Amino acid sequence: MPSYANSDLLVTADWLAANLSNPNVRVVDTRGAARYAEGHIPGATNLPVARLDDPTHPIRSMPLPPERMAMVFGNAGLANGQTIVLYDDGPGLMAARLFWVLEYYGHEKLGILDGGLARWLAENHHVTRDPSQVTASTYTPHPHPDRLSSSDDVKAVLGKPGVALLDVRSHEEYTGAMVQAARGGHVPGAKNCDWQTALAGLNIPALKSADELAAQFAAAGVTPDKQVITYCQGGVRAAHSYYVLRLLGYTNVSNYTGSWGDWGNDPNLPVEN
Amino acid sequence: MAVELDLTVRPIPAGTDITEDIDLRGEVCPYTFVKSKLALEEMEVGQTLRLILDHLPAVDNCPRSFKNEGQEIIGVEPINDEEWAVVVRKVHD
């Protein structure tokens, strides 16, 4: 079975266990503080992804601006040259969101723990309740605007060949049967591929094989030669699909993080049902 | 640019009887709504559920989704700089 083109982005529990003492590896628990306190991978720093959006921005799901993100990352002990390994205790939504944020801010060496905390435990690695000792460091974000799309960016590519708009919400949200904004439906021309279809299992989260995923995306017209823009309701599920596409080797991918919470509430933007 | 959402910041009336709290701090969409919806399904008509959230998109999405499902939004207000409370009254099963 062919492995993922960017298999470095998926870190095995055994590799992580062998590198927990590596000073160049930083493990980040992306869950809330309460769940972190219940038990986390030894040495992991806690960086709740739920709190990394900009409260001053009119679009709710916009990441903190560079100067504030620099402070947050620095206080969590992240440094530019480190290899950062992200995890959560679900199917990887939180880890994927931070993966996208870090790639947007130019971090180059990072990956997600395959199977998250569930597989870590299933493979008999231990966790601790002891808070990790974190030494604050200096982090300098280098934004990559091509990894974040705005509604203007999406509007500018509507109907263009060579661009794939990927709506990763549920079919009900896509069709407008379930409405979570002022209007239901989807961005004209967007194809629907629910983010969960990338998963092979939930009890111990796993992704489908590279071949299966490539076939799914190809069926939706999402091929590596295209510019791909993912979106959902608020940029989290879209970040998971962004991550999967990056794992498969897609290079021209961005997250429309405003997503339907932005597009569906703007009466000036076209909608398709 | 997003338009102003009508559900953002509606003070929760003083003395509102809260039947149950659900602490969703650390959770992100779509689980914020999924978990709160499951909690509301277990409650009786007329009872109120207070969601404690720190994921900003959820502060818009959860009230709007409950409203679209015909439940009543009693209020949405900040608790502090990073946390929000949303109170929903169950109107129907």
- The residue extents of the domains of chain A are 7-143, 146-263
Say whether A193 is catalytic: no
Per-residue pLDDT reduced to its tens digit, A36-50: 999 999 999 999 999
Q: Does residue A87 surpass a pLDDT of 50?
A: yes
Percent of residues, chain B, with pLDDT higher than 70: 91
Q: What is the pLDDT of residue A42?
A: 97
Q: Does residue B1 surpass a pLDDT of 70?
A: no
Q: How far is A181 from chain B (nearest CA, A)?
A: 7
Percent of residues, chain A, with pLDDT higher than 70: 99
CATH H superfamily, domain A146-263: Rhodanese-like domain (3.40.250.10)
pLDDT average, residue stretch A100-104? 98
Task: Test B2 with A34 for CB contact under 8 angstroms.
Answer: no
**Which listed CATH number (3.40.250.10, 3.30.360.10, 3.40.50.720, 3.90.1200.10) goes with A7-143?**
3.40.250.10
Q: Which of B1, B30, B54 is facing A50, going by the closest CB pair?
A: B54
Selected residue of B9, B35, B53, B56 to mutate for chain A interface (largest A Cβ count, 10 A): B56
Q: What is the pLDDT of residue A12?
A: 97
Please check whether residue B76 lies inside any domain of the structure: yes
Q: How far is B30 from chain A (nearest CA, A)?
A: 8
Q: What is the pLDDT of residue A2?
A: 55
Q: Does residue A25 surpass a pLDDT of 80?
A: yes
Task: Test B57 with A61 for CB contact under 8 angstroms.
Answer: yes
Cβ count within 10 A of residue A80: 16
SS3 labels along chain A = CCCCCCHHHEECHHHHHHCCCCCCEEEEECCCHHHHHHCECCCCEECCHHHCECCCCCCCCCECCHHHHHHHHHHCCCCCCCEEEEECCCCCHHHHHHHHHHHHCCCCCEEEECCHHHHHHHCCCCCECCCCCCCCCCCCCCCCHHHECCHHHHHHHCCCCCEEEEECCCHHHHHCCCCCCCCCCECCCCEECCHHHHEEECCCCEECCHHHHHHHHHHCCCCCCCEEEEECCCCCHHHHHHHHHHHCCCCCEEECCCHHHHHCCCCCCCCEC
Mean pLDDT of chain A: 96
Please check whether residue B6 lies inside any domain of the structure: no
Task: Test B3 with A51 for CB contact under 8 angstroms.
Answer: no
- Identify whether the C-beta of residue B44 lies closer than 8 Å to the C-beta of residue B90: yes
Selected residue of A47, A173, A233, A271 to mutate for chain B interface (largest B Cβ count, 10 A): A233
Least confident of A1-15, A109-123, A157-171: A1-15
**Which pLDDT band, with edges at 50, 70 and 90, does A202 fall under?**
confident
Task: Test B26 with A34 for CB contact under 8 angstroms.
Answer: yes
Say which CATH number the domain at B74 has.
Answer: 3.30.110.40
Chain B partners of A32 at a C-beta cutoff of 8 Å? 25-27, 54
Please check whether residue B38 lies inside any domain of the structure: yes
Q: What is the pLDDT of residue B8?
A: 66
Q: Which of A34, A94, A182 is facing B25, going by the closest CB pair?
A: A34
- Nearest chain A residue to B63 by CA: give it: A180
Selected residue of A173, A180, A237, A241 to mutate for chain B interface (largest B Cβ count, 10 A): A180
Per-residue pLDDT reduced to its tens digit, B76-88: 999 998 999 999 9
Task: Test A233 with B28 for CB contact under 8 angstroms.
Answer: no
Please check whether residue B3 lies inside any domain of the structure: no
Q: Does residue B17 surpass a pLDDT of 70?
A: yes
pLDDT average, residue stretch B9-29? 94
Please check whether residue B59 lies inside any domain of the structure: yes
Task: Test B81 with A60 for CB contact under 8 angstroms.
Answer: no
How many domains are there within chain B? 1
The residue with greater pLDDT, B47 or B10, is B47
Q: How far is B87 from chain A (nearest CA, A)?
A: 18
- Domain hosting B49: range is 20-89
Q: Does residue B3 surpass a pLDDT of 70?
A: no
Please check whether residue B37 lies inside any domain of the structure: yes
Q: Does residue B69 surpass a pLDDT of 60?
A: yes
Please check whether residue B53 lies inside any domain of the structure: yes
Please check whether residue B52 lies inside any domain of the structure: yes
Catalytic residue among A232, A247, A253, A271: A232
